Amino acid sequence: MKSLVIVESPTKAKTIQKFLGSDFIIKSSFGHVRDLPKRELGVDVENGFKPKYIIPTKAKKVVADLKKESKNADVTILATDEDREGESIAWHLQEALKLKDPQRIVFHEITKTAIEQALKTPRHIDINLVDAQQARRILDRIVGYKLSPFLWKKVAKGLSAGRVQSVALKLVVEKEREIGKFIAEEYWSVEALLKKLGKEFSASLIKNGEKPIEKLEIKNKTEADKILSELNNAGYIVESVEKKETKRFPAPPFTTSTLQQAAWQRFKFSAKQTMMLAQRLYEEGNITYHRTDSLNLSEMSLSAAKDFILGKYGKDYWAGKPVHYKTKSAGAQEAHEAIRPAYAEKSPDTLKGIDARQLKLYTLIWQRFIACQMTHATFDSVSADIKANDYTFRANGQTLKFEGFLKVYPTKTEETELPDLEKNDKLDLSKLDSIQHFTEPPARYTEASLIKALEKHGVGRPSTYASILSAIQDRNYVFKNDQKRLFPSEMGIIVNDVLVQNFPEVVDIDFTAKMEKELDEIADGKDTWEKTCKDFYTPFAKNLKEKYEEVIKADLTKKTDKVCPKCGAPLIERLGRFGRFYACSKFPECKHTESVEGDPDTLNIFCPKCKEGKVTGKRTKKGKTFYGCNKFPKCDFALWDKPVNELCPKCDSLLIEKGKKIVKCSNKECDYVKDANK
C-alpha cells in the first residue's frame, strides 16, 4: 500500500523521508498552490465575498505532478504546518488536486516519534481554521486593493495600504511625534564615594530628613550646591544594614514574539531573518514549530530536560519538579507548544552541518529551554542606609551565591561588592559630587520593541509579525537608522495622516485587535467568515466612496529657482515613494529628474566617474540603500558601500566604509585598508 505525504517545503520533505519507509512517497507543494489573482481584487463583494482562487503559473507544474502522484497512491496524506495557514494550504491542495477524502496529520516537531504518532491519528481538514485564514486573506485583500488606488489618486502613484501594516506604521509615526514634542528636563543627583578599611564604595542620596528625594527633585546646580554645602564636614555613619538572599528565576521558553525580540537583542537579527532561520531549523528537525504564542511544554520534553540537567550539571541545578508556564495572552491560539529543541540532549556543540547564524539561533532556543527547567540563581544582597547630618545615602551591593540557570543561559548581571558594614560604623568620605542629568526622550522602536507593542495591543499573530515589519519597510514608509531603530519617512507620515484622518477604523488599534478576536471566533466555529467580511466591508465601502468625493489631492510639490537642463522649464521638487527629487514642471512632455541637493542622503563628494555630479544615497525598490551619482542616467556610477570624502593614496579611487572601524578602497583590485579613526 503506497501513501503519498505532501508537505510545503523540500527541506521538510527530506527530513520526514528519513523516518518513513519505502511505502511512503514524500512530496513538496513548494508553499501555496492556489491564491487570489494579482491583477484584480479577486473577491466578489456583491455575492457573499466569494474568493476567486487561481493556480499561479509557478505552481502549475507542481500541481500537475502532485495530481499524477495522488492518482497512483492508495492514500494521500496532507502534512502541512499545524497553524491556520498550514490548514489553508492543505485545503487548497485538496481542492486543486481534487482529492476526495485526504487524511490530515499535524505534528509540532519533525521527529520519528511525533510523525509516527501523527500517522496513527489522522483527521479531516478543519474547515473552521481554513475559514479563519480565508477571512484574514479576504480582509487584507479588500483593504489593500481598495485603499491603495485611493492613495494613488489623493497622494502619489505606487503607494499601498495594508490592514495590519497601517497600524504598525501608525505606532512608528506616533512615537516619532512623541519624540519631536519631547522637552528635556534637567535634574541632578548627589553621590558619595565612601570608604571602610581602605575599600571604597558608592552611595546615592535618597532622603532629606524623613522626606524621600524624588528623581527629578534636585532641579539645577544651585540646589545641588546647596546640598553639598550642607554636607560640608558631615560625618558618615551607617544607620542600618539589611542583608538578604534574593532569587532570580529563569524566563519561560520562547514564543514567536519573544524569540524575535531576543534574537534582535543578542544578534541584531531582523524579525524576517529570525523566522527564516527558525523555519530552516524546524524543517530540518532541530526545533519544534516556530509560529506559536503558547508556553506549553510536552511531558516528554520536560522529562528529557530533567534527564539532561541531572546528567550534565547535577541535582542542584534541576528545579526539583517540572516547571509549567502559563500563557498570559488571552487570545493565544493555534499553538500546541512553546519553541524548544526537538531533542533536549542535542546541545549546540553536537549540532553539525548548519550555518553560523542557524547555530546562533539554535543555541539561544536550546539554552532558554534547558534554563527554564533549572533552579533559580541566588544572590546575596546588601542594602545600607548611611546618615550624614539630616541626609540619608543608600549603598546597594549584590554578589552571586549560586548560578543556577545562569550556567546555561547567561544574562547580564551586575555584581557590586560592599565592605562588611555594621550599624554605627563610621565611614571615611573620599569624594562628594553632584552630577547633572537630563531626561531622555522616548526611544524609537526597534523591530523587537515594535513586535512587543503589537503583541501587547493584540494586533497580528505569531505568523504575521515578520511580514508586518517587512511590509512597512519594503514600502519605504519606515527606515532604520544607524542604531537599527525605526523612523518614518516623509511619505510614511503623509500616508499615515491620510489614513488616520479619513479611515480611522482601519488604523485603530482596538478595532484591529477586535478583528483578530473575530478571526479567533471563526477558528473556534463561533462565527462565520462571510459575516465578518460583510460587517467590515459595508461601512468601509460607504466611507471610501464618500472620501473619494471629499478629499482633495495632496500637493507634494515645491517651487524651486532651478531650470530643467533638457528643456529650460522650471524644475519643481516632488515627493515620491523613494524620497524627494527634482522633476521638470512640463512632465510628462519632459521626463527629466535629478536628486535633491542638500538632501540628507547627498554626500559632499563629487562623482569620481563624471566629475560633475554629487554622490547621493539612493534606495532600491525593496528599500536597500546604495550610493550613486545624482546625474543618473547621464552617469551610472554606483556603490553599495558608503563612500568617504577621501581618495585612495594608491590608486585614486574612492574610499568606502566597511563597518565602523575600517576604511578600504572601492577598487576591488586595490588592497588599501586603514583604521577609520586615523
Instruction: Considering the candidates 236, 282, 289, 465, report the single residue annotated as catalytic.
Output: 289
Using N-to-C axis directions, what is the helix angle for 127-154 and 490-502, rounded to 10°? 110
CA dist 667 and 218 (Å) reads: 57
Residue 378, burial from CB neighbour count under 10 angstroms (0-12, 13-18, 19+)? middle
CA dist 517 and 465 (Å) reads: 16
Element at 43 (helix H, strand E): strand 43-44
Residue 396 and residue 386 in contact, taking contact as beta carbons nearer than 8 Å: no
Residue 362 and residue 287 in contact, taking contact as beta carbons nearer than 8 Å: yes
Contacts of 13 (CB under 8 A, 6+ apart): 5, 7, 26, 27, 28
The single-letter code of the amino acid at 530 is E
Question: Which residue matches cell numbers 525598490?
Answer: 621
Helices (H), 157-200: 165-181
Element at 260 (helix H, strand E): helix 256-267
CA angle, 604 then 608 then 610, to 5°: 105
Instruction: Read off the C-alpha cell for 372.
Output: 527554564
Cα-flanking dihedrals φ and ψ of residue 446, to 5°? -95, 175
Contacts of 597 (CB under 8 A, 6+ apart): 614, 630
SS3 595: strand
State how beta strands 103-104 and 75-78 pair.
parallel
CA dist 167 and 450 (Å) reads: 11
Element at 386 (helix H, strand E): strand 377-388
CA-only gyration radius of the chain, Å: 31
Active site residue 289: yes
SS3 76: strand
Count the residues in the chain: 678
Question: Which residue matches cell numbers 478595532?
Answer: 511
CA dist 362 and 375 (Å) reads: 22
Cα-Cα-Cα-Cα dihedral of 509, 511, 512, 514, to 10°?
120
Instruction: Read off the C-alpha cell for 29.
Output: 507543494
Residue 595 and residue 617 in contact, taking contact as beta carbons nearer than 8 Å: no
Nearest alpha-carbon partner for 432 in 389, 489, 482 = 389
Contacts of 326 (CB under 8 A, 6+ apart): 295
CA angle, 611 then 613 then 616, to 5°: 125
Residues identified as active-site: 289
